[in-house]
Amino acid sequence: MNIILSILIAILTIFALKTKNKQQNLGVGNRRFIIAIACTAFPYLDRVFSYFEKTTELAYQNTFLWSLIFLPAYALALTAGFNFIFGEKVDAKYLFPSICGSILLVVLFNLLGSEGIALFYPLSSYKFSAHLLHSFDLGLFLVCLTGAIIIFFFKDYRRDIARVFLGIVALYIIAVFSFSLKARSAANDYAEALKIDVKEIYTLAQPLSVFNWRVMIFTKDNKIHDTFLTLRKKNIEFKDDNRTKRVAQLYRPAKKAVWRIYRGVNPNYQSQYNKVIKYYGGNDIIKNTQKFSILKDAINYKQYRCLRFKDLRTEGIRKSLKGNTLFCQNPKTKDVKVLYGTKETYEDITSLF
């Protein structure tokens, strides 16, 4: 989720958790803005892992800094730090619940996105995600920004203002959730019409509008039915931006939606697929990265013969290897490798397994 949105959510939360409405002469005051930014930025520090090898990024990004298990310890450390910095201006017994609540809400807010968070690390590295919000939701941003600005200027009503705007945020999320249910309902109608034996339905938030959804139906015969829906009666038109216009045209009303059907496994490689799943299927990193992937084909990569798994969310990306994962074996030495696609090349992530 976008860090700016997270900061605004933290600002609303930390003021909503104030014990008193009016700003106190000896209180934290505007320092709460600084504290909120720090609370938000702290878990985002793991973005630095994206500059390391892919193994480090996959193993540690969105894991221990976002864990609910470690959250109280992080809140306690931040409270102690601000108590040291601000001295007598800070009463730790009042500040700790605010910091703890702010971090918790930022974590839960990011859970609504698509990146995934390992909530129970180190007990589990599996990353949970609701796919309810796009990484940057303009409507939510405007609501939160308006609330933060009003809080800054109306110092005697900060707690009440923050609580009102958090209520608006909650209503906004409920509304988006209802749109998700409508998209799921359209998927169920499609499945019933074709008499599809459904295993799971995913609705993924999309850019441009909260009315746009990508719907994936996973069936028990190992197929994926995939489409782009709009809950509007007709598409939004973008006259000046050709690229945005092309993207917008992907989304069609449910009755006019174009469904693409993918086989989860190319039948020519079923036995090799079974071996891969038997050996790697229980690994949390595989569960995190291959959730929306299909076994597309087999390719030769250097001296290896590889099964190529493709993440359908990156199917339209050109001139990039993102979304590709190779499970490889050298025919001569029987050496096994797992390679993860980046923009320009494959990186060896075998050490993760």
Could you read off the pLDDT of 283-326 as tens digits, one per residue?
999 999 999 999 999 999 999 999 999 999 998 777 789 999 99
Name the more confident of 82 and 234.
82
Phi/psi of residue 302, nearest 5 degrees: 55, -125
Q: Which pLDDT value is given to residue 190?
A: 96
pLDDT category, 243, cuts 50, 70, 90?
low
Q: Which pLDDT value is given to residue 209?
A: 87
pLDDT category, 208, cuts 50, 70, 90?
confident
Could you read off the pLDDT of 83-128 as tens digits, one per residue?
888 876 677 788 899 999 999 999 999 999 999 999 999 999 999 9
Q: Which pLDDT value is given to residue 104?
A: 96
Rg (CA), the chain: 23
Q: Which pLDDT value is given to residue 237?
A: 63
> What's the one-letter identity of residue 42?
F
State how far the Cα of 325 lies from the Cα of 346, in Å rounded to an integer: 8
Q: Say yes or no to pLDDT of 25 above 60.
A: no
Q: Say yes or no to pLDDT of 248 above 80.
A: no
- Which of 219-228, 233-242, 297-306, 314-323 has the least mean pLDDT? 233-242
Could you read off the pLDDT of 125-173 as tens digits, one per residue?
999 999 999 999 999 999 999 999 999 999 889 999 999 999 999 999 9
Whether the Cβ atoms of residue 111 and residue 117 lie closer than 8 Å to each other: yes
Q: Which pLDDT value is given to residue 89?
A: 67
State how far the Cα of 79 lies from the Cα of 91, in Å rounded to an integer: 9
Whether the Cβ atoms of residue 5 and residue 144 lie closer than 8 Å to each other: yes
pLDDT > 70: what percent of the chain?
A: 94
Q: Which pLDDT value is given to residue 40?
A: 94
Of the candidates 81, 105, 85, the one whose C-alpha atom is nearest the C-alpha of residue 14 is 105
Q: Say yes or no to pLDDT of 272 above 80.
A: yes
Residue entry with tokens 């169920």: 188
Of the candidates 278, 267, 286, 258, the one whose C-alpha atom is nearest the C-alpha of residue 126 is 286
